[in-house]
Amino acid sequence: MIDSKKNKLSINTDIEEPTETTTMAHTVKSGVLTLQDADLEKIGNILESHFSTQLKGSVSSIVDGVVKGLSEKISQLEAENAELKGRIRSLEQSADAAEQYSRHNCLRISGAPESKANSTDDTDSYVLKMAKALNTTLTINEIDR
């Protein structure tokens, strides 16, 4: 019998000589357990209610844990991303500064007339003549390509 106030099932444990009887298209051995369809429905409703509540609580706690873990991981990755972007900016600035420094002694001359021979001696002599015209001292050893 089901006590619906306490949600408990009580079973008669008096053991009788097993005899087979047919009740509502079910064969039940008397003395073991005899339940009516209404009783089975009540048991099903009680179990459904009980497990539904427990299942909702379990699913909710699992989802909350997963979301919390993912949020922490996202925050960690965002911090790492910001740090890496800062490092990249710093490296780009360092590379630019190094490139500019490597050119600090460079002078680009354009518009110099080309000779038919197009030899480096002609270019060197042209640069030396320009330096002399500007009253600077420049030697052939200071010219680099």
- How far are the Cα atoms of 87, 126, 127, 138 from residue 111, in angstroms, in the given order? 41, 11, 12, 20
- Compute the distance between CA of residue 144 and CA of residue 126 in angstroms, rounded to an integer: 14
Contact between 41 and 2 under an 8 Å Cβ cutoff? The reply is no
* Structure token digits, residue 86: 């800062």
Rg (CA), the chain: 47
131 or 28, which is more confident? Answer: 131
28 or 104, which is more confident? Answer: 104
φ, ψ (nearest 5 deg) of residue 117: -75, -30
pLDDT per residue as tens digits for the range 95-128:
999 998 887 777 777 777 776 665 666 788 888 8
Query: What local confidence, expressed as pLDDT, does residue 66 receive?
Result: 95
53, 52, 24: which is closest to 39 by C-alpha? 24
